[in-house]
Chain A
Amino acid sequence: MGRYENILTTTKLCKNYPGVRALDSVDFDLRYGEVHALVGQNGAGKSTLIEIIAGSIHPDSGSISFDKDSYVSFDPWQSIALGIQTVHQENQLVEELTVAENMYLYDLPTRKGGIVHYGDCIQRASQLMKDLGMDIKPEKRVANLSFVKKKLISIAKAFTRPLKLLILDEPTASLDGHGKDILFRVIKEHKVRGLSVIYISHNLYEIFEICDRVTVLKDGKKVATHKVKDVSMRDVVRNMIGSSQSTLYRRDKGVSPPPGTEVLEVEKYSRKDVVHNVSFQVRKGEIFGLAGLVGSGRTELARLIFGLDPKDSGRLLYNGQEITPKNSYDAIRKGIGYLTEDRKGDGLLLSRPVVENASLVALAKDKNVFLPLPRERRDVNTISKQLNIKTPTIEQLVINLSGGNQQKVVIAKWLLAASEILIIDEPTVGVDVGAKVEIYRMIDELARQRKSIIMISSDNPELEAVCDRVGVMRNGELVTVLEGDEVTEENILHHTIGVFDEMEVK
């Protein structure tokens, strides 16, 4: 097999989820000894593609060939047997076990009678660590190690079995400079010996440093594959943005009354390692977007503002008066609402009816002993019609509604509470296109009612279409606030992944 033959080829891979085409006829190829980057915005289909290759998802159609053999789909065990290993973004280690045990957990070396041979296990782990140039003691308990070491262990674990294809999902997100050097050295050493790597990262600098080719995905489709040495970062970013689909909805920012004076002041919010000294203002009737990668500190900031997590510093002022909430019920009494990102985790009472979900915040806000049952039904029926929530009756359990309608129930809950300040976190994740537009209209309507809105989103076209201004967060800091004509998908993306300065130089 020559240097330029493919180890992996996918042909017309498709995968559909209700309302979403996660992968649309994707052809992807990977050569022996190649490091191939996979880039794209959130929801582009990167995860779906690597999960199909790793065998945890079966495609709806298409085929995969690996090492000359053709497959319709893989099962996880099959993919491992073929020599495919994935290092996930989240560590998948057993914290209470030692490094060595974690590395060989799938098949611990044993003595006769099935008793684990720890000495053998540690010796093998220690030899592998030495080969990979990692300075980690195999007998240490994983829980006591730093994030960087845990990530390195996850990478080393992939090398305990025959390895032909290594999939790295955002490997440097939890690595420091030294850890990154180790990883890159390991990649370079092994690629000479024929190891192929699929490398997912938001960091284009890394990709231009270590990768041979880069494939750009967008909305489940492959946009292009480039040789890294023949392409500029600017072009890759352009591919990632593509021809925007945001024409579906565009808020008419000129028509709504111009935002008033700055009423909501977010002042110097900090929490160690998560949010660093973030300040910004939001006007009455304004939609202020917060952009950034997952983990850039946006949701963490929202939780600090709402009083859900303890903060190191920060004050919240409304019309010049301090209203910094102490906890969620304090926040709600002070007129702040928070539509959380995780609908099922902390947004909805799935096993309860629509009516109880929708009225919950309003109930928590007032002080009556008895439930105002007739009024509750009337209010919820009205808001349900207004938001076009598709449910047979308001007695329907929320668990039986579709994602878009569930999200509308969350919105209804905060509308009935009549909050003046609203923090909306990822309002359209897992929501079908039709419901998306309805949700944008709803948010616009709230702005017309002169509320102050902070909208967090990973969907940059959505931020461009909806927001008056957009603040971009990176590594816990608010790096810039874009206004007026600056609010474009391209600008947001540049600041989000931080390639802006480099591009100016080019």
Chain B
Amino acid sequence: MKRFTSFFMGKGPIGQSQILIILIFIIVIVATLVNRRFVHPQNIINIFQQIAILGIVASGVGMLLVSGHIDISVGSQVSLMGAAFAMMIQRMLALPGGEVESWRQFMTYPVAIGLTFGFGFCLGLANGITVVKSRASSFIITLGFMSAYHGLALLVTGGASYMLFGRFELLGRGRVFFYIPVSILFFFGIVIVAHIILKYFRYGRFLYAIGSNRKAAYVSGINTDRVIIKSYIMVGLLNALAAIILISRVGTALATTGDAYALDALAAVIVGGVALTGGKGGALNVFLGVVLIGLIGNALIIMNVNPYVRDLVIGLIIIIAVTLSQLSERQS
């Protein structure tokens, strides 16, 4: 285990990741003792399917946080893009029940997916440019964008829901080899890509440099503004992917479908051990944080605990995890 973690996170004092792995073990053991079904492969797959979308959003947020910047508008970005995506498909396929030419059927999904990614690019660009040029705290700026995107989503949907009537279910509900949900593959794929970017790309190194000391990074010749804007664009693109998979899974879009991802993603990333001040953490930290949050939700259900306890427990775990790691850091 030690070698496994040090491979991903480098050597260093025992940090949040180790605490996290222990926590995950405890939850698994307790939940299994209460209910054997918890470790059934099908349940494990369920857990991962439940957290796949969160994991994609959190990967973006995590990489951004490595550079010391935050984006709390991710939830309303997912909602807005999800709504836009569902509306496009409805319109293009003339749902429900409309007859359209076969070329149109054929073109609908690529066009809608492409446009949604384009939309994600634009949202990320808007966030990034504003954060960089205003020189204001990224928390405040994206708080503003969170509200603005939420309002925009309400405006375009008019508060109505947009259903797909059973179309486009592959990404969210489909399985490969009859067993593994497609969304899990995307989740794992994104985490691996994030890991490679952070460890092996020049760009990833620059994220750590900026997060550790932005002024020093600038004096060392890094175009810090450009790197930060790129990170926000990356977050926007991952949010677009999350929105598409989410709509595919739930089959219907509301103006608020993805709102909860903002806090859950931040919670996962912070519990995972990406430092809020930037410059520390990696893809495995994000992965562990997401898994922990997924486990808690699932374990509580399987143990027959009131599901409303989930948020309370997650809140307490964030506080405990961060406090413990702060204390151990101060000691070393």
Q: Which residues of A line the B interface, CB within 8 A?
A: 306, 308, 328-329, 331-333, 338, 340, 345-352, 356, 360-361, 363-365, 368-371, 373, 395, 397, 413, 417
Contacts and interface: CB of A to CB of B under 8 A. Distances in A.
A366 to B, nearest CB: 8
B202 A350 contact: no
A352 B209 CA distance: 8
Contacts of B12: 397
Chain A to chain B: the 6 pairs with minimum beta-carbon distance, closest first: A332-B221, A364-B221, A349-B212, A346-B215, A329-B221, A360-B220
28 contacts: A328-B219, A329-B221, A329-B223, A332-B220, A333-B221, A338-B219, A346-B215, A346-B216, A346-B219, A349-B212, A349-B213, A349-B217, A349-B279, A350-B212, A351-B212, A351-B275, A351-B279, A352-B208, A356-B205, A356-B208, A361-B220, A364-B206, A365-B221, A369-B201, A370-B201, A371-B202, A371-B204, A397-B12
Given A348-B216, A351-B279, A373-B200, A360 B223 contact: no
B172 to A, nearest CB: 32
B150 interface: no
Given A349-B216, A413-B220, 15 more contacts: A328-B218, A331-B221, A332-B221, A333-B221, A346-B215, A347-B216, A348-B213, A348-B216, A349-B217, A352-B209, A352-B279, A361-B220, A364-B220, A365-B221, A371-B202
Interface string B173-205: 000000000000000000000000000111111
A308 B212 CA distance: 19
Contacts of B209: 349, 352, 356, 360
B280 interface: yes
A247 B77 CA distance: 66
A305 to B, nearest CB: 13
A369 B221 contact: no
A351 B208 CA distance: 9
B151 interface: no
A503 to B, nearest CB: 40
Contacts of A365: 221
A340 B221 CA distance: 13
B199 to A, nearest CB: 8
A395 B10 contact: yes
Given A348-B213, A349-B212, A370-B202, A308 B219 contact: yes
A373 B218 CA distance: 22
A360 B212 contact: no
Contacts of B275: 351
A308 B217 CA distance: 12
B216 A329 contact: no
A329 B223 CA distance: 7
A306 B218 CA distance: 12
B133 interface: no
A481 B305 CA distance: 80
A356 B199 CA distance: 11
Chain A CB within 10 Å — which of B10, B216, B223, B279 has the most?
A: B216
B84 to A, nearest CB: 32
A302 to B, nearest CB: 11
Nearest to B212: A349
Nearest to B12: A397
Contacts of B216: 345-349
A333 B221 CA distance: 8
B221 A328 contact: yes
Given A348-B213, A352-B279, A395-B10, A369 B219 contact: no
A368 B220 contact: no
B275 to A, nearest CB: 8
A368 B219 contact: no
Contacts of A306: 219
Contacts of B279: 349, 351-352
Nearest to B223: A329
Contacts of A363: 202, 205-206
B200 A368 contact: no
Contacts of B221: 328-329, 331-333, 361, 364-365, 417
Contacts of B2: none
A306 to B, nearest CB: 8
Nearest to A393: B11
Nearest to B199: A371
B301 interface: no
A331 B11 CA distance: 35
Contacts of B11: 395
Contacts of A347: 216, 219
Nearest to A333: B221
B115 interface: no
A348 B12 CA distance: 19
Contacts of A349: 208-209, 212-213, 216-217, 279
B201 A329 contact: no
Interface in B35-83: none
Nearest to B214: A346
Contacts of A350: 212-213
Contacts of B318: none
B302 interface: no
B66 to A, nearest CB: 11
A348 B214 CA distance: 10
A341 B315 CA distance: 43
Contacts of B10: 395
B92 interface: no
B222 interface: yes
B277 to A, nearest CB: 8
Contact of A351 (B203, B206, B222, B280): B280
B193 to A, nearest CB: 14
Contacts of B220: 328, 332, 360-361, 364, 413
A345 to B, nearest CB: 6
Chain B CB within 10 Å — which of A306, A356, A363 has the most?
A: A363
Contacts of B201: 369-371
B174 to A, nearest CB: 33
Contacts of B202: 363, 368-371
A349 B209 CA distance: 6
A365 B206 CA distance: 12
A338 B218 CA distance: 12
Nearest to B203: A369
Contacts of A351: 212, 275, 279-280
